[in-house]
Structure 1
Amino acid sequence: MRKIYFQLFSLVLTAVSVAQSPITLTSANFPGSGDTLRYTNAQVSSVGNYTQTGANYTWNYTGLVYNSQGRRDFKAAIQTPYAFFFFGASEYGEKIADTIQAGPLTITNYYNYYKKQTSPINAYIADGIGMTFSSVPVPSYFSDKDELYTFPLTYGDYDSTTFKFSTPTTTALPFRYIKTGYRVTIVDGWGSITTPYGTATCIRLLTTQYSKDTIKYNAFSFGFPNYQRSYQWLTATDKIPYLEVTGALTGANFTPNTVRYRDTYQNPAGVHENTDISAMEMYPNPGKDKLWLNFTRKGQFLVEVLGLDGKLIKGGNFDSANIGQSIDITELSPALYVIKVTEKQKAYYYKFIKE
């Protein structure tokens, strides 16, 4: 919670263009109880240069390749499994995972709890964590809140805040989880960003969590550094990042493992993917050079590659009696495609990704 630096760069950033100016965000621009926000996970390799930034900058990420979709649901605390503990009217929770494997331990029903506060620091905070161990609920508050965003938030802000979390110490449970550290956040750019979702005015934020996590189980205790970095493009209307690139930080080396952008529900090519694989299997998916086909029953098949607009790209006839059959996909651009398999009068649809 202790705020070490703030708006460090404000005096040196006065030469911003007078024709345009960066947006300023408040708590109203971030998620609240009842919000349901959808996003698309993109292939990490498709993001390109995510470190580039500056004042009045234009970011273009139209080349992001669809991988999957997800949804963030922010529920009133009373609607979550840990309502008996987090019952404040201003608190709300988000389910992060059904199951987390932490060494020899299995943690289930993992929730983060958030709150918008104005004192002692005007911030959007991680207020607590709820988890279940061996069927026993283990909710707890941060003893030193984790300020995820401090307000007002605008270009040039530079903050460092501390945090500390620990599950209760009790003889009823042989398990304890402790998380302590600090977060450094800098708003290092502003301008406009374009993704497959659209174009928006934004600020660019870089936040790094330096944490030591400790797990105690019976007589055993092990701790490990948990350094995480996130590049975020924030807008005034989308509540979650318009684009976010996250990953682990080891020394000075950052390795992104997740790229996701704000989106609406997508049904590629307007078709329902066939989940009955009795007609055909294909691999590898994602693929680069060849898409190998394995027909799982006898017959003649027409196999076609379609773009997301439904346009035919290529196709051919295949006989299940032949082995080692494939489609050459080397000339395809990296993207999501649809495979249409026609057997007599019946059509099947499958999705695949060209890397």
Structure 2
Amino acid sequence: MIKRFLLIASSIAAYGVSHAQITINESDVASVGLTVQNSTSSNILVAAPGGANKTWTFNNLNKSSTDTMKFGAAGWYPGASNFSGATMAIDNGDSSYTFLKKNSSALALMGNYDIFNGVGTPTLLNWKLLTFPATYNTSFKDTTVFAQDPQAFGFDVDGGGPLPTIDSIRVILNLHTNSLVDGWGSLTTPLGTFSSLRVNHMRTNTLTAKVQVSGFWIDAPQAFMDSVFSTSGDTVYQHFYWTNNSAYGFPLLTYSYNSGNDTATDVSWLSGTPQMDAVKDISNFNKILVYPNPSSQFVALQFPFVNGTLQIQDVTGKTILVKPIHGNTALDVSTWQKGIYMIRATSENGMLSTSKFQKN
């Protein structure tokens, strides 16, 4: 999950336009309601040089696969309460949601929330992607720490010797980012020709760890780390090409490359003009699933979030039931009067979901 998460994270990082040098501000980055189509390409590309007034031509990109991503308000989606300060989220379309914080000074990736078999798992980061305003030669450095949940380990360091057994381990991933807007010019893709800024990201991932010994957490000895993990650091280089045309809000082209090797990998590109239509889908997203409906005995309610408050009213507006929500629930309605009942559920973040059912 973390690889996919970091790729998504990396795809949200800078912005630019016109056939002259430009400046990127908060308003130039994707906003609530935007839906984008991003395709991967299997074509072999060469990483282009940076600099001023460049012409970058990548018109031979194909579509190996295409993903649709929808930008919405953070409170629209499950798991928002885990990401304090998040202002937006991306619905990745597979019960996976990426949370962002955008303001006048920076864009940051707050983390990811994935739901599998009905269980939501947050991944917390707070990784800075871009500072505003950004223009040619704008740069920043940032370090983000991702701490894994403790895992049972049970490792005897010296094989029965005097040293105590390591009971548990907590792996810590450190993300060190160096970002530089290293070029501006004209970019051509199958989508068209755009005035662009290019952002060069160098990210080094290093591992550290805490170990629990005799009930105490301590820094893992370096000799232990070297024997269990590769701690030398993994460096990823990436280029992002953006345009400041307000009709777009996502990198026009993204790829990875290796230092000293110009072959581009992990190529993705904006393959369709973004649409401001994500808001239209919220009415469906917010629906409470009710089954069976109608019913004379029991109804099961499935909510689009985990915690909140449930309220049910009859057609006269009389409140029949108020109760806290802690996951999906079933109600015994056998003694209720026949008729139509309105269901309102409010999440901890204030997201309102509605539905109705008929009691026979």
TM-score normalised according to structure 1 size: 0.54
Aligned length: 225
Matched-pair contact (CA < 8 Å) for 2:20–2:195: no
Listed as ranges, the gaps of 5+ residues in structure 2 are 1-17, 153-167, 214-224, 274-360
Q: CA 1:233–1:198 in structure 2 vs 1: closer, same or farther (change >3 Å)?
A: same
Q: Provide the rounded CA distance (Å) in 2 between the counterparts of 1:112 and 1:84.
A: 13
SS in structure 1 opposite 2:51? coil
Give the 5 Å matches for 1:117-156: 117-118=103-104, 122-131=105-114, 136-139=119-122, 141-142=124-125, 145-156=126-137
Q: CA 1:94–1:215 in structure 2 vs 1: closer, same or farther (change >3 Å)?
A: farther
SS in structure 2 opposite 1:189? strand
Q: CA 1:40–1:139 in structure 2 vs 1: closer, same or farther (change >3 Å)?
A: closer
What residue in structure 2 maps to residue 35 of structure 1? 34
String of CA shifts for 1:320-352, please: whole Å, max 9, x gaps.
xxxxxxxxxxxxxxxxxxxxxxxxxxxxxxxxx
Matched-pair contact (CA < 8 Å) for 1:161–1:183: yes
Q: Does 1:75 align with 2:85?
A: no
Give the 5 Å matches for 1:186-265: 186-213=180-207, 225-237=233-245, 238-246=248-256, 249=258, 256-264=264-272
SS in structure 2 opposite 1:28? helix
What residue in structure 1 maps to residue 139 of structure 2? 158
SS in structure 1 opposite 2:238? strand
1:21 deviation in Å?
3.6
Deviating more after overlay: 221-230 vs 149-158: 221-230
Listed as ranges, the gaps of 5+ residues in structure 1 are 1-18, 99-108, 266-355
Identity %: 26
More helix by share: 2
1:71 deviation in Å?
1.8
Q: Provide the rounded CA distance (Å) in 1 between the counterparts of 2:120 and 2:169.
A: 12
Matched-pair contact (CA < 8 Å) for 1:112–1:128: yes
Q: Provide the rounded CA distance (Å) in 2 between the counterparts of 1:56 and 1:91.
A: 34
Q: CA 1:55–1:65 in structure 2 vs 1: closer, same or farther (change >3 Å)?
A: same
Q: Provide the rounded CA distance (Å) in 2 between the counterparts of 1:226 and 1:95.
A: 29
TM-score normalised according to structure 2 size: 0.53
RCO higher in structure (CA 8 A, sep ≥6): 2
Q: Provide the rounded CA distance (Å) in 2 between the counterparts of 1:217 and 1:253.
A: 38
What residue in structure 2 maps to residue 93 of structure 1? 89
Matched-pair contact (CA < 8 Å) for 1:164–1:181: yes
Q: Provide the rounded CA distance (Å) in 2 between the counterparts of 1:135 and 1:216.
A: 31
What residue in structure 2 maps to residue 56 of structure 1? 53
Q: Provide the rounded CA distance (Å) in 2 between the counterparts of 1:134 and 1:196.
A: 39
Q: Provide the rounded CA distance (Å) in 1 between the counterparts of 2:82 and 2:190.
A: 40
SS in structure 1 opposite 2:61? coil
1:95 deviation in Å?
4.8
Matched-pair contact (CA < 8 Å) for 1:41–1:67: yes
Q: CA 1:242–1:113 in structure 2 vs 1: closer, same or farther (change >3 Å)?
A: same
Q: CA 1:213–1:72 in structure 2 vs 1: closer, same or farther (change >3 Å)?
A: farther
